[in-house]
Structures are given as structure tokens and as C-alpha cells.
Chains A and B, each alone.
Chain A
């Protein structure tokens, strides 16, 4: 397992994650709570059940979303 940091784009920003990071660790770092949060990687939704086992890949584009007042 690589220990090199992984550089990707999260919510439009450059983000460096530790080698071996998963979607779950990213959500942990970004979100006050995982409740009401959804994740897309390269335009595809990653189900919550797969967060723990989805590794972050260099150059990936990640969107972390939740509810905002509106609609």
C-alpha cells in the first residue's frame, strides 16, 4: 500500500490526502457529520456502503454534497 499522498480535486479545490485514504476518511475530514452527505467521484455517486472500501485515486474529481437552504 502506497504511503505517498494522493492529490485530487475536492469540491473544486486541490486536496492532498494521505496515501491509502478512502472516501470515508475524506468525508470525515470535510464534513461535521456524515449524516445527510453524498459523494460523487468522477461524476458517479459512491454509495455510503462503499465509502470505506473506495480508495482515493490521484487526479480524481470528488464532490461532497449535503442539504442547503433553498429549493
Chain B
């Protein structure tokens, strides 16, 4: 007679194949990051709500804009991020020329003691789409000046290749315009960029909800940068957690190797041994 015993709670559990950032780190410019979700800090209702969302996301890298000092502000974003152990990625958000972006990047390097920069140079204020001409010019100047440049670009594989050729540490194509929440408008182009890239591809802009982030990772992106989808969600903390899970799920699915798409069916049940046949 066997006696059932309760399972030993200290017995080894099988490792969670979708976890383990240390087993699958994101490496940008020689630096390892344990999270493939990057967060933007813009659009949040309050510093408290931002702190909660950042923590829930598990992010290790967050973007900040560079703006004129407000003498009346009591609150320090730098202190908030450093307190959470999150690296700062300054963004040249709002710049429209290479000269503006280069000056802004240099100010950011001085202010935050980092030579990492998200390089954003926009072509017009309505669409906030990147200006590839000014962007390439600024990228080249900043790479020459010793920056680790992460350029925000359109989903054009030709521009992405040129950015890599001038020495950018990653390329960050948009899924859709900033803040639009439209998801990935041209998944084919994102796949083309991923296929040719020798540096990490970070899907940046246009993510609206968790599935968009998941799809980005399934297409082969190395990471996703999300801002508005979290900061402007009804419940930013909960959305940040959803994004964390979505990025992990998409990454695991990519590494798992999906089935090919078939025009017709392929039975998953045996076709022999059918009763009465």
C-alpha cells in the first residue's frame, strides 16, 4: 500500500522558460539590461503615479526630455529615477534640426553624466515623424563625439541601415506616430529592418496596448519603448505590468520558433485509427 505524501515544497521547480533576464539579456552599446521594456516618462499625471508605473514595468531604462529649468518645481525626475535604480536615457525630443539635437544631446550628457542619447529629430509638429536627413546628420556628429546613439527613426529599412552604418548603437523604428496608439502599421518593414540589422532594433512609438508590444517582439525586435500607452492609460500601473508581461511573452514566443503560416489546414490529431473508418 502506498502512502501519498504531500509534494515537497522545496523540491526544484522546472525553470520558467519565459523568465530569466540574466539568461537572455538585452545588450546595447556593450551594456547589459535585464528588461526589454523601455519606458518613456512623458504624459503621466503625477510623480507618484509615474513611480508606480515604472516599478510595475520592471524597466531598467527610461527616457526623459531636456527642457528649460522650472524654478518653481519641487520635484526632481532625476532623483525619482535614480531612487528606483533606473538608468536615464535623455531624449532630444522636440528638436527639429541636427544643430538643435546635437546641442541638446551635449547638454544632456553634461546634466545627467551619461553619453547615451535617444536621438529624435522631427520633421513636423503634426505627425512628429522623424526627419531622416537631419537625423542622419545629427547621428553622425554625435557618434563622432563619443555618444552612444539610439536614433528614433521611421520604418524605412534604408534609413535604418544608414543609421547603423554611421555607428548608432541601435535603431528605433516607429510602429506608428508618437502617442497615436495605432500599433505597428507596417509589420513587414519592421521585419525587414530586423532581418538586416546588426544592432538591436527597438520598436519605439505608436504602441497602444499590450498586444502591440508582444507583436513587436514576435517580429524579432530586441526591445520595445512605450510611453503614452502606459502613462495615458486609465490605470498606468496595471498597463505597465501588462507591457512587462507582453514583452516577455513575445520574446519567448520568438525564441520558441512559431509554426509557419499555412494556407490550408494541417491536422493536429492522428489521421489513422479513426473509429469506423
Interface residues of A (CB under 8 A from B): 11-12, 30-33, 35-40, 43, 45, 47-48, 63-71
* Cβ-neighbour of A68 out of B64, B79, B88, B118 (below 8 A): B64
> In the docked arrangement, what's the CA distance between A49 and B64, Å?
24
Residue of A nearest to B66 (CB): A65
Q: Are A36 and B63 in contact (CB under 8 A)?
A: no
Interface residues of B (CB under 8 A from A): 40-44, 50, 63-71, 73-74, 76-79, 88-91, 93, 103-104, 106-112, 118, 120, 227
With A38-B107, A71-B93 as contacts: A30 and B40 at CB distance below 8 Å: no
Q: Are B107 and A67 in contact (CB under 8 A)?
A: no
Q: Please indicate the chain A residues that have their CB under 8 angstroms from the CB of B89 in the complex.
A: 71
> In the docked arrangement, what's the CA distance between A39 and B42, Å?
23
New A-B pairs, 19, CB < 8 Å, besides A31-B71, A71-B118 = A11-B68, A31-B69, A35-B78, A36-B78, A36-B112, A37-B69, A38-B107, A48-B110, A63-B68, A63-B107, A65-B107, A66-B78, A67-B67, A67-B76, A68-B70, A69-B65, A70-B41, A71-B41, A71-B120
Closest CB-CB distance, A27 to chain B, in whole Å? 9
Please indicate which of the listed interface residues A36, A43, A67 has the most CB atoms of chain B within 10 Å of its own CB.
A67
Residue of A nearest to B64 (CB): A67
Q: Are A66 and B67 in contact (CB under 8 A)?
A: yes
With A30-B69, A32-B74, A35-B76 as contacts: A69 and B106 at CB distance below 8 Å: no
Q: Are A67 and B71 in contact (CB under 8 A)?
A: no
> In the docked arrangement, what's the CA distance between A30 and B72, Å?
9
Please indicate which of the listed interface residues A35, A65, A70 has the most CB atoms of chain B within 10 Å of its own CB.
A70
> In the docked arrangement, what's the CA distance between A65 and B69, Å?
5
Closest CB-CB distance, A11 to chain B, in whole Å? 4
Q: Please indicate the chain B residues that have their CB under 8 angstroms from the CB of A32 in the complex.
A: 71, 73-74, 76
Residue of A nearest to B69 (CB): A64
Q: Are A45 and B106 in contact (CB under 8 A)?
A: yes
With A67-B64, A69-B77, A71-B65 as contacts: A36 and B91 at CB distance below 8 Å: no
> In the docked arrangement, what's the CA distance between A22 and B13, Å?
63
Q: Are A45 and B65 in contact (CB under 8 A)?
A: no
> In the docked arrangement, what's the CA distance between A70 and B76, Å?
13
Q: Please indicate the chain B residues that have their CB under 8 angstroms from the CB of A40 in the complex.
A: 103, 107
Residue of A nearest to B78 (CB): A36
Q: Please indicate the chain A residues that have their CB under 8 angstroms from the CB of B90 in the complex.
A: 67, 71
> In the docked arrangement, what's the CA distance between A45 and B110, Å?
8
Q: Are A64 and B78 in contact (CB under 8 A)?
A: no
Q: Please indicate the chain B residues that have their CB under 8 angstroms from the CB of A69 in the complex.
A: 41-44, 50, 64-65, 77
